[in-house]
Amino acid sequence: MLRSFFVSLSRVSWAQRTITSWGVARRASARFVAGETVADAIQAVRALNSQGVRASLDHLGENTLNPADAQAATAEILAVLDEIENAGVQSNVSLKLSQIGLNLGEETCHANLLQILEKARSLGIFIRVDMEESTMTAKTIGMVFRMAQNGFSNVGIVIQAYLRRSERDIQELLSLPVRVRLCKGAYQEPPEVAFPSKSEVDANYDKLARLLIVGASAQHTPPASDDGRTPPFPAIATHDPRRIQFALQTIEELKLPKNAVEFQMLYGIRRDLQQKLVGLGFPVRVYVPYGTHWFPYFMRRLGERPANIWFFASNYFRN
Ligand code: FDA
């Protein structure tokens, strides 16, 4: 209910105009968003790196409506790659295909992604393609497959455990193989395509995490890179301690080295758990979003947890 309300609100333009004009909303979003400029984001990455945590920078943006905006989003991502290189930080980049033109046509998106992957490859930086609504899943996987088959090993994808199709997708991705970040899924989906209950999503998460870790280990896929820019094939992206515990047990059972799997979390969430995993010697990466288009991302974070509404409200009443 809560999620469906906030995911729907994230697409309403008057709500976006109204809420983003509130200073209190901007201040509350700062818990989840590293700032509006790339300089803010690099500062956040440096702070994470100093605590042993790697990063994935995301210049916020999605559902771009015209080719000029898709081009501008691409230019911004190309500039971020230079910033990572110049700053020498342990970070890679996450992006959304709808941000660089997937809704405007496959070839527009392909041309933009190609520029990004070529530049990232020349700098030794990995690019993670986020997963959006289920109407885009097949197109997103298709685009990443196309790039991987054309020789780009610096591109990976996200798979959502709430989707019924995900087991098949992981098997296919392992066959190339393409690096996978496994998350639960943040959008509102109908029961035909996604498991409706939390317990089913959690059970599927464990099943897919195991499939991914066992599959990657059987293929002797490379571990996380020492420069902090390239993740290993399986990335366990969740703040759920039970899911993390299950993955840790699987790693132990298979006697894998610690850098064979990476744990990933979102900026501003469960810093205690991030530090605990760093302390245990595992690679940990935090997704660091920044930019002015923070509204849909912020709405999805609010919808994930009722306590976040109180956090927002308390900011409101404090002002
Ligand atoms: P769950 O929702 O069960 O939460 C477990 C615990 O985590 C909660 O009890 C709470 O302590 C904490 N928590 C979770 N969300 C919180 C919040 N918003 N605020 C405060 N605490 C919170 N989704 C997607 O559809 N496509 C994608 O590409 C990505 N990419 C991505 C990258 C990374 C690195 C992460 C960690 C997550 C994503 N996601 C995503 C989001 C993901 O699908 C999911 O919505 C959130 O991670 C919340 O689910 P949890 O796995 O944390 O579990």
- pLDDT score at 147: 98
Distance 10 CA to ligand 1 centre (A): 17
- pLDDT score at 308: 77
Confidence of residue 315 (pLDDT cuts 50, 70, 90): low
Residue found by looking up tokens 């992957």 in the block: 117
Distance 300 CA to ligand 1 centre (A): 9
Confidence of residue 302 (pLDDT cuts 50, 70, 90): confident
Residue found by looking up tokens 């199709």 in the block: 165
Q: Pick left, alpha or beta for residue 40 (phi over 0 → left; psi -120 to 50 → alpha; otherwise beta).
A: alpha
Q: How many CB atoms lie within 10 A of CB 22?
A: 13
Distance 238 CA to ligand 1 centre (A): 5
Bond before 231 cis per omega within 30 degrees: no
Confidence of residue 162 (pLDDT cuts 50, 70, 90): very high
- pLDDT score at 316: 59
Cβ(184) – ligand 1 distance below 6 Å = yes
- pLDDT score at 314: 67
Cβ(264) – ligand 1 distance below 6 Å = yes
Which residues sit opposite 290 in a β-bridge? 59
> pTM of the full predicted structure?
0.95
Distance 118 CA to ligand 1 centre (A): 30
Shortest-distance atom of ligand 1 to CA 202: 3
- pLDDT score at 13: 82
Shortest-distance atom of ligand 1 to CA 181: 32
Nearest alpha carbon, ligand 1 atom 38:
183
Could you report the per-residue pLDDT of 66-106, keeping only the tens digit for each? Answer: 999 999 999 999 999 999 999 999 999 999 999 999 999 99
Q: How far apart are CA 230 and CA 222, in angstroms?
A: 10
Helix (H, G, I), strand (E, B) or coil at 259: helix
- Which are the contacts of 257, defined by CB distance < 8 A and separation ≥ 6? 223
Could you report the per-residue pLDDT of 105-150, keeping only the tens digit for each? Answer: 999 999 999 999 999 999 999 999 999 999 999 999 999 999 999 9
Q: How far apart are CA 34 and CA 60, in angstroms?
A: 11
Q: How far apart are CA 117 and CA 54, in angstroms?
A: 20
Is the per-residue pLDDT at 313 higher than 80? no
Amino acid type, 74: T
Q: How many CB atoms lie within 10 A of CB 160?
A: 26
Average pLDDT, the chain: 94
Residues classed as catalytic: 130, 181
